[in-house]
Amino acid sequence: MKKQAFNPYLPSWEYIPDGEPYVFGDRVYVYGSHDFFNGFAFCLGDYVCWSAPVEDLGNWRYEGIIYPRNADPLNPEGKMCLFAPDVTVGPDGRYYLYYVLNEVSIVSVAVSDTPAGRYRFYGYVHYPDGTLLGRREGDEPQFDPGVLTEGDRTYLYTGFCGRGDRSRTGAMATVLGPDMLTVQEGPVFVAPGCEYSQGTGFEGHEFFEAPSIRKVGETYYFIYSSIVMHELCYAVSREPTKGFVYGGVLVSNCDLNISSYKPANRPMAYGANNHGSMVQIGEDWYIFYHRHTNGTWYSRQGCAEKLTILPDGSIPQAEITSCGLNNGPLLGKGEYPAYIACHLFTDTPSVYVGGDRFPRIMQDGRDGDRDPAYVGNIQDSATMGYKYFDCHGVGRIRLTVRGYGQGVFEVRTAWNGAVVGEIPVNYASYWGEYSAPVSIPDGVQAIYLTYRGDGNKGLKSFALL
């Protein structure tokens, strides 16, 4: 039986950001870096892989460690971190994993006979004379490789451009030969960083990091994280190494720019850096991205939303939801985990993650413990939003709550809508159930829960009854 699909799409205790999704055979595979719960830095883990049947996107399978940190000859003790990778199928039919270690600005490559590995170290991207890409005079540092193979040519996209750093020009494209390592055409710039964007059409959404590439028909879509960090943007061209024109925003992990249900400039979650890409699954296109948990930048989880590619090739920005891969709203009956909240905010809006008074997704125990996540640090005015549910005959809601605080949870079907129910909650050091009648209209609805009271609460789940 198919499972409903939530955001995040992996288990609540797994932290795989920077997702690069691909369909190989009858499964979709996601490759990314590997954060830890309560981690002190980005990308502390080995590369792992998860996959799901293309017909059952709520049923993800752990494929195990596909490439450990110490597999690179430059990192035998595993002290360096594995930053965001990408995978492509070479002309020999094998799978090639491209990555950069956090302290070395060159591109490493590993190879496997199967999508889920294990991958074995293969070599470093280099010029014909053996000089490593990134170390020739005039090269800019390599970072965040994205790859696309067509015939005997592989297009490698890299780069990082921070604000105020004029030594970094923009995103680079390099052409590799059929051995997947040797540079055939040196780096050219395909999208500008913010220090070189004047007059380019990229102003305000300049390239920052996270280059990725997809081809739809005859059009190349260059996907990247912009200088504001929380959004994934795209540019289009009919050629893979030149002519890219800014297209728009694909997704923002705080839903900035979306104006369909709230003011465009109002953030609805706590954003920060972003990284991901597009994939076609069946007839549908999706954008994979990540969200931030635990009130930090360093415990990121993968999410996905459906995209619409219009006849002219443009793509409207996707709204962040709790049901991204579900191909429609969730059932408006039954119990749901609180951690699938797509919206978290208080009466004090904030675009970026961090802050002692903000609610956050968290878990008990340590990284790797399979304890279910919950929403914690719920103080007065904290709001959790869930979208969307197909509701019919919902007349009661039940919450599972704990924490030292007393007040009420207000229920709404819009972030600024009328209160349709109130659930009083008491002081408790254990998870307890509280319920109350609600008046939720039939049809597709959002559910917003706002705490009004003192102290600090945690929300484990809610049930529509």
Q: Same structural domain for residues 234 and 343?
A: no
* Domain co-membership, 374 together with 295: no
92 residue type, one letter? D
Residue 408 burial (CB count, 10 A) = 17
The structure tokens listed for 370 are 């399979």
Specify whether 137 is located in the same domain as 283: yes
Interatomic CA distance for residues 265 and 256, integer angstroms = 6
Note whether residue 10 is domain-resident.
no
CATH code of the domain in which 357 resides: 2.60.120.260
CA atoms within 13 A on the CB side of 202: 31
**Percent helix / strand / coil, the chain, rounded to 5:** 0, 45, 55
Same domain? 184 vs 35: yes
Do 117 and 250 reside in the same domain of the chain?
yes
Q: Which of 291, 307, 323 is the last residue of a domain?
A: 307
Question: Is residue 220 in a domain?
Answer: yes
First-to-last alpha carbon distance for the chain, in angstroms, is 23
Same domain, 367 and 279: no
Q: pLDDT truncated to tens, each residue of the chain (465 aa)?
A: 689 999 999 999 999 999 999 999 999 999 999 999 999 999 999 999 999 999 999 999 999 999 999 999 999 999 999 999 999 999 999 999 999 999 999 999 999 999 999 999 999 999 999 999 999 999 999 999 999 999 999 999 999 999 999 999 999 999 999 999 999 999 999 999 999 999 999 999 999 999 999 999 999 999 999 999 999 999 999 999 999 999 999 999 999 999 999 999 999 999 999 999 999 999 999 999 999 999 999 999 999 999 999 999 999 999 999 999 999 999 999 999 999 999 999 999 999 999 899 999 999 998 989 989 999 999 999 999 999 999 999 999 999 999 999 999 999 999 999 999 999 999 999 999 999 999 999 999 999 999 999 999 999 999 999
Q: Nearest-5° angle of CA 192, CA 230, CA 360?
A: 160
Strands 330-331 and 383-391: parallel
* CATH code, 301: 2.115.10.20
Co-location of 263 and 336 in the same domain: no
Residues 45 and 141 in one domain: yes
365 and 428 share one domain: yes
Range of the domain at 139: 20-307
* φ and ψ at residue 380, rounded to 5 degrees: -50, 130
Do both 43 and 138 map to the same domain? yes
Both 401 and 445 in one domain: the answer is yes
Instruction: Establish if 142 belongs to a structural domain.
Output: yes
Q: 3-class secondary structure for 49-78?
A: EEEEECCCCCCCEEEEEEECHHHCCCCCCC
Domain count, the chain: 2
Whether residue 363 sits in one domain with residue 248? no
CA separation for the pair 131, 125 (Å, rounded): 9
Would you say residue 318 lies in a domain?
no
Work out the number of other CB atoms within 10 angstroms of the CB of residue 180. Answer: 23
Q: How far apart are CA 90 and CA 147, in angstroms?
A: 10
Residues classed as catalytic: 18, 209
